[in-house]
Amino acid sequence: MKQENITIRIQYKIAFLSVVLFLGKLLAYYLTHSVTILTDALESIANVVSGFIGLYSIILAAKPRDRDHPYGHGKAEYVSAAVEGALISIAGLLIIYQAVHQLLEVHQLHKLDIGVMLVCMTGFVNYLMGRYALKAGVKHKSAVVEAAGNHLMSDAYATIGIVIGLLLIIWTKWLWLDSVIALIFAGIIIVTGYKVLRKSLAGIMDEADEKLLKEVIDFLQLHRKPQWVDLHNLRVIQYGDVMHVDTHMTIPWYYLVADAEKEIHELETLIRSHFGDKVEFFIHIDGCMPYQCHLCSLIECPERKFEFKEQVAWNFENVWLNEKHGKIDYSVPS
């Protein structure tokens, strides 16, 4: 099954489940008249909205690139995840508002035992689905599914606080306790929403993913070939489940076009062997310069001008620069 079909099916489950859990929490509120449970239900509205927005964005992101979207539609996932992050934070603010309101105006509660059972069930299901979605989002590189997982788990954590508050109310009769605990978990929810929103905006703004870039560089350094004199101006961007690699590679200047094509193909095959088939490449070929003989390990080179000294190891500091290696470190003898 194609990866995009897997993420669509996961998001379908998330959207359907969010509706079922929202109705369950509304039933718990109807039975108990608890403002705290109503707060949990209000937070679930964000789950419902973001679930269907996320589903739409994944379906859109799975569409192939076209004339209007030459890089595909993968950024739709980041937009959806940004909306979800904002909704998580707004839900946290709503919880704070309701909790403060309940502190100022105490309400009588009814059938708390049944309400606690229903809320516990929804929280447990939220947690399981959240962990599943979070792992699936990371595995399939889907920002929407990962954000949904974070949202569901934050909802489950909020439910824990609400259940603790309700149980303490049953035991102590102190009605203000559930508001205090709800305030604590509201803070956790807002922080989670900020993290989801921050990561989404980073994707929209094409912020460098240093972890992914370092993984690519380390892998290429481990498997580099002697004729790959250097790799520079490397850019790695993840749009949805498609990774885009843009780089300049320096090879011996005397290579024919067919030789250059062979090196490009080998580099592409190498990267795909580790990162999967959903990689798009933009590789520019540069011919080597005489000053690079000092760092070129192609010993049998027929055009060598200077003795090989030391190969420059590819790392995060030198591969992203738009500069051929050796230009600064070595100079051509007069």
Instruction: Yes or no: say if 153 and 130 are a contact pair by the CB < 8 Å rule.
Output: yes
Helix (H, G, I), strand (E, B) or coil at 250: strand
Whether residue 58 sits in one domain with residue 194: yes
Q: Which residue, 204, 238, 271, sits at the end of a domain?
A: 204
Higher pLDDT, 31 or 209: 31
Higher pLDDT, 106 or 24: 24
Torsion of CA 155, 158, 162, 165, to 10 degrees: 170
For residue 204, give every residue at least 6 positions away whose Cβ sits within 8 Å of its Cβ, in sequence order, or none: 75, 78, 79, 82
Locate all alpha helices (DSSP H) within the chain, ordered by sequence: 3-32, 35-61, 75-104, 112-139, 143-172, 177-204, 210-223, 257-275, 316-319
Domain count, the chain: 2
* 60 assigned to some structural domain: yes
* 277 assigned to some structural domain: yes
Determine which of 17-31, 198-212, 268-282 has the lowest per-residue pLDDT on average: 198-212
Q: Which residue, 182, 204, 226, sits at the end of a domain?
A: 204
* 327 assigned to some structural domain: no
Closest CA to 129 of 15, 230, 258: 15
Cα–Cα distances (Å) from 2 to 7, 30, 57, 97, in that order, read 9, 43, 17, 44
* 22 assigned to some structural domain: yes
Instruction: Yes or no: say if 70 and 239 are a contact pair by the CB < 8 Å rule.
Output: no
pLDDT score for 208: 63
Whether residue 121 sits in one domain with residue 83: yes
Whether residue 199 sits in one domain with residue 216: no
Q: Which residue, 142, 172, 204, sits at the end of a domain?
A: 204
Residue 328 scores a pLDDT above 60: no
Closest CA to 151 of 180, 118, 188, 184: 188
Residues in the chain: 334
Whether residue 188 sits in one domain with residue 265: no
Whole-number average pLDDT of the chain: 82
CATH code of residue 75: 1.20.1510.10
Whether residue 183 sits in one domain with residue 218: no
d(Cα 256, Cα 253) in Å, to the nearest integer?
Answer: 9
Whether residue 261 sits in one domain with residue 167: no
CATH code of residue 256: 3.30.70.1350
Place of tokens 């370092």: 214
Task: Find the farthest-apart pair of alpha carbons in the chain and give their distance in angstroms, rounded.
Answer: 92
pLDDT score for 124: 92
pLDDT score for 181: 74
Whether residue 144 sits in one domain with residue 267: no
* 247 assigned to some structural domain: yes
What single-letter amino acid sits at 270?
A: L
* 324 assigned to some structural domain: no
How does residue 255 score in pLDDT terms, banded at 50, 70 and 90? Answer: very high
Instruction: Yes or no: say if 133 and 55 are a contact pair by the CB < 8 Å rule.
Output: no
Partnered with residue 247 across adjacent β-strands are 283
First-to-final CA distance of the chain: 61
d(Cα 172, Cα 105) in Å, to the nearest integer?
Answer: 18
Whether residue 46 sits in one domain with residue 143: yes
Show the tokens assigned to 60.
Answer: 């859109």
d(Cα 303, Cα 308) in Å, to the nearest integer?
Answer: 12
Q: Can you give 254-295 as a three-state secondary structure string? A: CCCHHHHHHHHHHHHHHHHHHHCCCEEEEEEEEECCHHHHHH
For residue 299, the enclosing domain spans: 210-319
Determine which of 42-46, 235-239, 242-246 has the lowest per-residue pLDDT on average: 42-46
Whether residue 248 sits in one domain with residue 148: no
CA atoms within 13 A on the CB side of 112: 19
Whether residue 269 sits in one domain with residue 304: yes
How does residue 334 score in pLDDT terms, banded at 50, 70 and 90? Answer: very low
Whether residue 197 sits in one domain with residue 224: no
* 334 assigned to some structural domain: no
Note the pLDDT tens digit of each residue in 284-308: 999 999 999 999 999 889 999 999 9
Q: How crowded is residue 183: how many other Cβ atoms within 10 Å of its Cβ?
A: 18
Note the pLDDT tens digit of each residue in 150-174: 878 878 887 887 788 788 888 888 7
Closest CA to 289 of 229, 218, 206, 208: 229
How does residue 4 score in pLDDT terms, banded at 50, 70 and 90? Answer: low
Instruction: Yes or no: say if 35 and 101 are a contact pair by the CB < 8 Å rule.
Output: yes
Whether residue 215 sits in one domain with residue 129: no
* 34 assigned to some structural domain: yes
